[in-house]
Amino acid sequence: MALSKIAALSTLLASATMVAGHGYVSSIVANGKNHTGYLVNEYAYSDSPPKSIGWSTTATDLGFEDGTQLSDPDIICHRDGKNGALSADVKAGSDIDIQWTEWPESHHGPVITYLASCNGDCSSVDKTKLEFFKIDAVGLIDGSNVPGNWGTDKLIKAGNRWTVTIPDSIAAGEYVMRHEIIALHSAGTKDQAQFYPQCLNLKVTGGGSDKPDGTLGEKLYTDTDKGILVDIYSSLSNYVMPGPKLYSA
Ligand SMILES: *[C@@H]1O[C@H](CO)[C@@H](O)[C@H](O)[C@H]1NC(C)=O
Ligand SMILES: [Cu+2]
């Protein structure tokens, strides 16, 4: 075998081992209805994938963005993220259940959810113009046993599921929900935190009049934020959640 082939094969094997067990959002339930997400390991190989509320991505390795990509458009809705064609109706003030396919226990870190108004139709909005406000974030729940009990551990325990409440104070309209896990198992080294953003379109009904200020996706984090460059194996007593502060009505 040519050397280059051996190299390619071993890279493939290494990455196959590395990504075993990473997940993605395969569905959500909103207003009692189950909506299929962008099934990346099927749709990315299809010539005519079904329309979805989930944004498409080419991250078929189920991989991540790293700390060098925090001002790259790929951080917004994952690798080559492109608008979902559909959106899920949801009443303001109600809960959304979010189903991940799986999550590796070792990949501890926060689970964070943002919304950004599309100011119109999310199926055609320019993602680089979306301004995200944070509606939910769970980081370190209990740091007593290193590396601690994290949002990801809660997610796994719930069956790789997460529940988030859509604020009842926000104005009706279409929003991109950016739901993200940040895996911190290697984050003690600069740029080694792993970002797994997932985008899904919502159409919020009811609600109030709030139009919260938000932050562009490419401005959410820097690679030296306290919650991004952090060694979770040094007993932490608290964790500083990265990104803009939590929205409250
Ligand atoms: C949607 O339905 C699928 C298939 O029954 C199920 O596995 C999944 O958990 C449901 N999604 C949610 C968020 O409950
Ligand atoms: Cu991994």
Q: Name 111's bridge partners.
A: 138, 181
Q: How many CA atoms lie within 13 A of 139 on its CB side?
A: 17
* All domains in the chain, ordered by first residue: 25-219 (2.70.50.70)
pLDDT band at 20 (very low <50, low <70, confident <90, very high): low
pLDDT digits (tens, 9 = 90+) for 138-195: 999 999 999 999 999 999 999 999 999 999 999 999 999 999 999 999 999 999 999 9
Which residues have CB under 6 Å of ligand 1? 27-29, 34, 97, 99
Q: Whose CA is nearest to atom 1 of ligand 1?
A: 34
The band of 104, judged by pLDDT with boundaries at 50, 70 and 90, is very high
Pick left, alpha or beta for residue 24 (phi over 0 → left; psi -120 to 50 → alpha; otherwise beta): beta
Question: Tokens representing 135?
Answer: 């509606």
Residues sharing a CB contact under 8 Å with residue 1, sequence separation 6 or more, in sequence order: 9
Residue nearest to atom 14 of ligand 1 (CA): 29
pLDDT in tens, 22-61: 999 999 999 999 999 999 999 999 999 999 999 999 999 9
Report in angstroms the alpha-carbon separations of 193 from 54, 174, 188, 203: 24, 31, 8, 32
Q: Which two tokens stand for residue 66?
A: 């790293």
Give me ligand 1 centre to Cα 88, in Å: 15
Q: Does position 80 have pLDDT exceeding 70, yes or no? A: yes
Residue to substitute in 24, 26, 33, 34 for testing ligand 1 pocket (most ligand atoms within 8 angstroms of CB) = 34
